[in-house]
Structures are given as structure tokens and as C-alpha cells.
Amino acid sequence: MATFRFKALDEVLDRQAVEVVREENLVSDYYGMMVFDQEKMKKYLSREAYKAVTDAVKKGTTIDRKMADQVAQGMKAWAIENGATHYTHWFHPLTDGTAEKHDAFIVHGADGGVIESFSGSLLSQQEPDASSFPSGGIRQTFEARGYTAWDPTSPAFISETTLTIPTIFISYTGEALDYKTPLLRAIGKADKAATAVCQYFDKNVSSVRTNLGWEQEYFLIDEALYMARPDLVLTGRTLMGHASSKDQQLDDHYFSSIPTRANRFMQDVENEAYKLGIPLKTRHNEVAPNQFEFAPIFEEANLANDHNQLIMDIMGKIARRHNFRVLFHEKPFAGINGSGKHNNWSLSTDTGVNLFSPGKNPKSNLQFLTFVVNTLKAVYDGQDLLRASILTAPNSHRLGANEAPPSILSVFLGTEVSGMLDLMEESVVDRKMTPEEKTALKMNIGRIPEIILDNTDRNRTSPFAFTGNRFEFRAVGSSANNASALIVLNTLVANQLQEFKVAVDALIEKGTKKDEAIFQVLKKLIIESKSIRFNGDGYSDNWVKEAEKRGLTNVNSVPESLSAYLRPESKELFNKLGIFNESELNGRVEVEYEKYVMKIQIEARVLGDIAINHIVPTAVQYQTMLLENVKNLKEVFSTEEFESLAEGRLELIREIGKHVSAIKIKRKEMIEARKQANVIEDIVDKAYEYEKVVKPYLDEIRDSIDRLELIVDDEKWPLPKYRELLFVR
Ligand code: ADP
Ligand code: MG
């Protein structure tokens, strides 16, 4: 294997960066060419069909069968002209990644042969064999049917030669089996609740949009090296590997010059992204060696999330063209930075106002403060649910690891906005204010500078940070489907805004003036949620202590964190807002527990195999070589000389023996632990057992392997090392 490793490196050195040919000179010339967007709809659809789709997108109306037929005809014509031979419903099941099943357009023709055909019913709804997708027991086998239904708010596109139609995926009884369905529900609820609150400030607002700008971090690894690491291939992360003597200590990777090979990969990805209407904007080197980031211009959240899922898929495929593999795992390498996917989140009105942008006058600033404070309260109340939405087996290696947000939820507001909230807290709004007091307060509110987007006032250690015109939820994992976080965030905010409106209306009813009522309720919310506000260093130990004093929760255990979903108040919240009924919620949480167990189980198996099949034989072989050497020394030298010469070698021999024994013993114990965990029926109990009893072996066995890596002859070591994986580029 060592020879393989060196051959691989040789090949790498030979590899020229693949040339990338842009479609046209200007991106704006070919942007969206593979998307059935407004422009194409106008060209390929009748006026009424066009109106049916745009109404569905803007007003949520349904598209009847006759119209659907017309849309299907137009889509088919466009798709075939652009080289498509197949179509697929594309959805986000509760697995990592998306699902698609391609069908050719062909049907039998009247006189033998085939013709191309695509109908409204095929566009609108399909019934995939759903029994193999996780549902957490919602879809009993006796009612295994599920169906996908067209989501006209996310336009169809052509991926390679397939017309791809974004869809939701639900059970026969209408329960969500995917991420998109509840995401659309939660976006809709936030729209309604936020629009109602906007009415206090502007009667012209008729809808509020959720925006998402994701920042996708990832690693690029040379394909030959990747292939020589069964742990990377099977689990997405390295289960062993001693730290490279140099990794990120010198801070010399972040924002440094992008290596040509990586840059070519990025250009290729961008090329495809632009054809698919994905507005990639930013690319850069991240903190860890061979770690990078892509970020688009933000879009409506449902569309943005489809685009994120799509880009992850595209990146995986294009990486191979460049002899790379892309890693989306949250912590592929121990000891250096992991990867996240910051969710930049905001709400904006159909009148063009970003509700998290401070305004030009006291009125719009009061609206701004209303939305900031309600978000603050939503995060405070929902800290455990927000954590549950992002804490997964892979992300648990990253959170709290000194480079990533801690497992404590807190909100950074910056000095300007914090100062404003402090003023409001101290204000006298809870009794009738004098005209002078009112003027003073309005003056203060009017003073929030319009632009507080200031890079110096940024806190990169906060899991949930206000960044001038949006909130950035930084704890989301790089491999996650953003919907998981957004469903919870939008649900919490929608609920909070509803409660806010009820409270304000009640005061108005009792005769309080509108502005004063808003002030009073905001003041109360500011006081209640105060402990979630933290502008300091989220990575410090002091914060952990301080947070505990404040009564904030701090959970790094996935099974414990997930249990937040199952509390009666959570069930009530999701049910009340129509996001999840109880069976949907239970099913979803069960899937998460299952995933957790499976991921640890797979890692344990892979580590056990590699330890026994790769590491132990190599170590024993090297030990035998040393033993031979000792024997030879003994033959040649006098006893006295021999003793001084052999001393170091004997020590190595003993040490190798010690680690080999430890690996063998621990592996056996780990298998036993798995056996015991596997017979546990209750999935929650099983997850705890895996966490407490199986998972620690991963670290213990790794420790022995990593020590052997430093002892055994490099020529013999069977796996590419960190210094190769991270620095070959
Ligand atoms: P950072 O400096 O935080 O790393 P990036 O430029 O990498 O910033 O990414 C910022 C992301 O936030 C981009 O996707 C950008 O489009 C998005 N964004 C900017 N303004 C908003 C907004 N109002 N709402 C949502 N996302 C936004
Ligand atoms: Mg960034």
C-alpha cells in the first residue's frame, strides 16, 4: 500500500489543472439557460397557463389539471429542445441528499414505435416506491404509498439530460416525509405572522418573504489519496490519523491565493451553477488546509435551499472531473477546523423592505426593533429546539470544538442595537409617558444609524449573530439540509410574532396608543430574553460558566438534544402552527435517532476493520523486523555492546506490542458493546447506549493507532497521512 501511496502522489504531481471553458463570455448571457424560468414560461406557455403558474407562485393558488397539461406541454417542448430525454420528480427525503428517478419521455405511438410525451398529471404528481425512504414509522408497510407533488415555487430545470421538477414528498395520508413540505409550511406561517405585524407600520405590506444566503464550507481531497482511505470513503471522515506537524497554526490558508487546481474546480462548478440559475458569488480558501467556501447571493429560502442541495450534488460530480473528492462532513479531520454552513436569514416585505435593516426614520426603526426583539425572544424560548435542529452525529464533533460555535445558543447584536435595547429597557414605557419622554424615545430610536454593517463590529464566535441586515445562524452543519434549521427558526419566529400581536392588540383594545403598546410589549420581551444576548467571546471557558449562571442550556449530546422535540410544549407548538402533527414529529425525531445510531455503528465497524486488517498486521510486521534486527545484533556484538545498541529497539518493540494488544482488546469490547446496544428496542435508549458505551471506543482505538503511526516505518504505513491528505493540491 505504501507503494500505492507514493504512486498516487506521483500521479498527483503530474496532474495538470483541468481547463475550464466558460459557456459564453458573459455570465449574464447564459445565466439560467437550463431553468424553466419566467422568460421561458412566457415563450413556451399560453398566456393563461403562464398566469396559472405565476399566480401559484405569488398567491399560492392551485393549478388545475387542464392548465397543468398545458404547462407540461410547454416544459416538455423546452426540455427536448435543450437536449433532455428524461424527466424526474426531485425531492428531499429525510436522508442526507436528494432523490430522483428518471423516466424517459417516450410512450408507445399509435402505429408502433414511440413518441415523446409528458402530461399534466405526470408533472403534478407521482407515486414513487416510497417504502425505502426513512419515515420513522409514519408509513407503515401496509400503507407504503407515498407521493411527490410539484412545487411550482421552485422552477424546473435540466440537469444533464433530465428535466428535473422540484417536488414535496408526502405519505398517502398527507403526512410530510421530506424536508421541503414542513419548510414551505413554516415559511408560510412566518409570512402570515410577519405580515400581520407589519400592518402596524405599513398597510401596504401584503406578504413577507424569508430569505436565505448559505455559506457552504467544504474540503477538497485528491481522489487517489481519498480512495486509499476506506474511512473517508465509507464515513466521510478520517477515523484515525496523527496530526500533521504543520496544519493551520500559521493562519496561512484563510483567504490566501486559491490553488490553481482548486480554482479550476470552482470555475467549473460556477459554470454549471450559472446555467442552473444558482447565483454563486463568493469563493475563498477557508481556515484549514484544503478547506474552501462557496456563497451565493441570497434568495427566497425555499429556492435557496433547493439550490444548496443541488450545488452539493454538482460539486460532488464536478470534483471527480478534477480528480478531487469533495468532503461535506462537519469534521473530516481531528484537530483542525471543521465545516459549517452559515445560514444568513432575513425577512423582507413585498414592498421591498428588509425587516432587519435599520430604517431612515423612527417609524421604520421601530419596525426594525420589533422584528429584532421578537427574533431574540424566539431564539431565547427556542434555544433547545434550535440546537436540536442542527446537532447531528457529525456536527457534534464540530460544535464547541474551539473553532465552531459552542453548544450554547446565544445572540450577538453588536453595540449599536444592544445599546438601543438597553435604552428601551430603561425607558418608562410601562406607565403613561409624558410628551417629552415620548419625543426622547423616538429621537433615540431614530438615531440607529442606517448602515451598521460594520465588519469591525462582528463576532465570529457567536452561533446566532446579527450582521447588520440579517441574522447569521452559524451552528448549521456543512452537510445539513438547511430546511432542518429553517423549519424550527421560522416556526419559532412565527409563533413569537403571533404572540406579540395578541399582546399589542390587547393593550390597544384597553386604550393604549399603538406605538406605546408596541413599546411596552417590546420592553417586556427585551427583559425576558436578556440572558440570550451575548456580545463576548463564545469560544471562551468563561462564557460556559457565565451561560450556566444565566440559566442557558448547554448540550453537546445528540440524543439529549433531540429530546427537545419530544417535549409536550414542542409538540403543541408545531401542531398549533400546522408544521408537524404529532405523528410527523415523532416520525421525524425517530429518523434522527436512527441516523445517529447508524452513523456510529458504521464508524465503529469501519474502524474495527481497518484496525485489524490494516494497522495491526503492519505494526506486527514492523515489530517482527525489529525483533529480527535485535536477534542479529545479539549474534554479532558482545553482550555489553548489544545491551546499549538494542535498548531503544526493545522499547519500541514493547510499545508496539502494547498498542497492538490495546487495539485488539478494545475492538473486541467494542463489538460486544454494539451487540448489547443492538438488542435495545427503544430507539432513544439505543441512541444513548451508542453514545455512552460504543462511541468512546472510537477515540480509544484511534489513540493507539495514531501512536503507532508515529512509530511504524513510513514506507510500511498503509494509509495516506494527514500531511498528505491536507497538503497535496
Ligand atoms: P461573511 O462575511 O459572513 O462570510 P459571505 O459574503 O461569505 O459573508 O456570505 C454572506 C451571505 O449572506 C451571502 O450569501 C449573502 O448573499 C447573504 N446575505 C446578505 N444580505 C442578506 C440578507 N439581507 N438576507 C439574507 N442573506 C443575506
Ligand atoms: Mg463567508
Tens-digit pLDDT profile for residues 502-556: 999 999 999 999 999 999 999 999 999 999 999 988 888 899 999 999 999 999 9
Q: Partners of 341 in the beta sheet?
A: 216
Question: How large is the average pLDDT for residues 591-609?
Answer: 97
Atom of ligand 1 nearest to the CA of 213: 14
pLDDT, tens digit (0-9, with 9 covering 90-100), for 431-451: 666 777 777 777 676 666 555
The terminus-to-terminus CA distance of the chain in angstroms comes to 21
Residue closest to 129 by CA, chosen among 183, 169, 168, 157: 169
Q: Between helices 362-381 and 180-198, what is the axis angle to 10°?
A: 140
Q: Residue 331 C-alpha to ligand 1 middle, in angstroms?
A: 23
Task: Please state whether beta strands 464-466 and 411-412 pair in parallel, antiparallel, or not at all (unpaired).
Answer: parallel
Whole-number Å distance, alpha carbon 298 to ligand 1 midpoint, is: 6
Proportion of the chain above pLDDT 70, given as a percent? 93
Architecture of the CATH domain 187-580: 2-Layer Sandwich (3.30)
The domain locations on the chain are 31-178, 187-580, 594-725
Tell me the angle at which helices 695-711 and 639-678 cross, rounded to the nearest 10 degrees: 160
Give pLDDT tens digits for 46-84. Answer: 999 999 999 998 888 889 989 999 999 999 999 999 999
| CB-based pocket (< 6 A), ligand 1 | 211, 213, 215, 282, 295-298, 344, 346, 354, 469-470
**Ligand number, closest to the Cα atom of 343:** 1
Contact in structure between 706 and 241 (CB atoms under 8 Å): yes
CA gap 274, 147 in Å, rounded: 30
Whose CA is closest to 589, among 566, 555, 568?
A: 566
Average pLDDT of the chain, as a whole number: 91
CA of 465 to the centre of ligand 1 (A): 12
| Pairwise CA distance, residues 175 & 583, whole Å | 8
Q: Measured from the CA of 467, which atom of ligand 1 is nearest?
A: 3
Q: How far is the CA of 281 from the centre of ligand 2 (A)?
A: 11
* Per-residue pLDDT band at 1 (split at 50, 70, 90): very low
- Tens of pLDDT, residue by residue over 391-434, are 999 999 998 777 777 789 999 998 888 988 998 888 776 666 67
Task: Give the residues across from 295 on adjacent strands.
Answer: 282
Q: Among 470, 473, 490, say which to mutate for ligand 1: greatest number of ligand atoms within 8 Å of CB.
A: 470
Pair type for strands 125-126 and 146-150: antiparallel
Beta pairing, strands 341-349 & 208-222: antiparallel
Q: Is the dihedral of CA 718, 723, 725, 728 positive or negative?
A: negative
Find residue 408's DSSP bridge partners: 554
Contacts with 252 (C-beta within 8 Å, 6 or more apart), sequence order: none
Residue 397 corresponds to which cell in the numbers above?
464533533
Dihedral-angle region of residue 402 (phi above 0 means left; psi in -120 to 50 means alpha; beta otherwise): left
Helix-strand-coil split of the chain, %, nearest 5? 55, 15, 35
The whole-angstrom separation of Cα 179 and Cα 183 is 6
Task: Tell me which residue has its CA closest to atom 14 in ligand 1.
Answer: 213
Cβ-contact 440, 434 below 8 angstroms: no
Nearest ligand, measured from the Cα of 453: 1
Among all bound ligands, the one having the nearest atom to the CA of 286 is 2
Q: Residue whose CA is closest, atom 5 of ligand 1?
A: 295
Point out the ligand 1 atom lying closest to the alpha carbon of residue 293.
Answer: 7
Rounded Cα–Cα distance for residues 169 and 171 (Å)? 7
Instruction: State how far the alpha carbon of 223 is from the alpha carbons of 327, 412, 492, 701, in Å.
Output: 11, 40, 42, 26
Q: 281 pLDDT band (50/70/90 cuts)?
A: very high
pLDDT tops 90 at residue 34: yes
For residue 639, how far is its CA from the centre of ligand 2 (angstroms)?
Answer: 65
Query: How confident is the model at residue 456, as a pLDDT?
Result: 45
Distance 293 CA to ligand 2 centre (A): 7
| pLDDT value, residue 574 | 98
Ligand 2 centroid vs 172 CA: distance in angstroms? 41
Ligand 1 geometric centre to CA of 251 (Å) = 23
Atom number, ligand 1, closest to the C-alpha of residue 345:
25
- What SS3 class is residue 708? helix
At how many degrees (to 10) do helices 514-528 and 435-446 cross?
A: 60
Protein residue with least CA distance to atom 4, ligand 1: 215
How far apart, in whole angstroms, are the C-alpha atoms of residue 208 and residue 351? 9
What confidence tens digit (pLDDT) does each residue in 134-179 have? 888 775 555 667 889 999 999 999 999 999 999 999 988 889 999 9
Give the Cα separation of 471 and 347 in Å (integer): 10
* Helical pair 301-321 and 180-198, crossing angle rounded to 10 deg: 140
Q: Are 214 and 482 in contact (CB under 8 A)?
A: yes
State the distance from the centre of ligand 2 to the C-alpha of 215, rounded, in angstroms. 6
Contact call for residues 729 and 261 (beta carbons, < 8 A): yes
CA atoms within 13 A on the CB side of 328: 21
Residue 356 Cα: closest atom of ligand 1: 23
Q: Which atom of ligand 1 is nearest to the CA of 354?
A: 23
Q: What is the pLDDT of residue 495?
A: 98
The contacts found for 421-428 with CB under 8 angstroms, 24 or more apart, are 421/369, 421/372, 421/373, 421/526, 421/533, 424/369, 424/519, 424/522, 424/523, 424/526, 425/523, 425/526, 425/527, 425/530, 427/519, 427/523
Is residue 667 within 8 Å of 612, Cβ to Cβ? Answer: yes
Confidence (pLDDT) at 363: 78
Ordered alpha helix ranges (H), 15-64: 27-30, 38-44, 47-59
> What is the distance between the alpha carbons of residues 387 and 488, in angstroms, rounded to a whole number?
10
**Size of the chain, expressed as the number of residues it contains:** 729
Q: How far are the Cα atoms of 152, 210, 522, 564 from residue 496, in angstroms, in the given order?
A: 29, 16, 12, 18
The Cβ of residue 40 has, within 10 Å, a number of other Cβ atoms equal to: 21
For the segment 625-672, what is each residue's pLDDT rounded down to a tens digit?
999 999 999 999 999 999 988 989 999 999 999 999 999 999 999 999
Partners of 84 in beta bridges: none
Residue 455, pLDDT score = 44
Q: Which three cell numbers stand for residue 555?
A: 448540550
Report how far residue 653's alpha carbon sits from residue 292's, in angstroms, rounded to the nearest whole number: 42
Residue 60: predicted pLDDT:
82
C-alpha span between 194 and 631 (Å, rounded): 81
In the predicted model, is pLDDT for residue 99 greater than 80?
yes
- Report the CATH architecture of 594-725: Up-down Bundle (1.20)
pTM for this entry: 0.95
Are 95 and 134 within 8 A, CB to CB? yes
Ligand 1 atom at minimum distance from 344 CA: 26
CATH hierarchy code of domain 31-178? 3.10.20.70
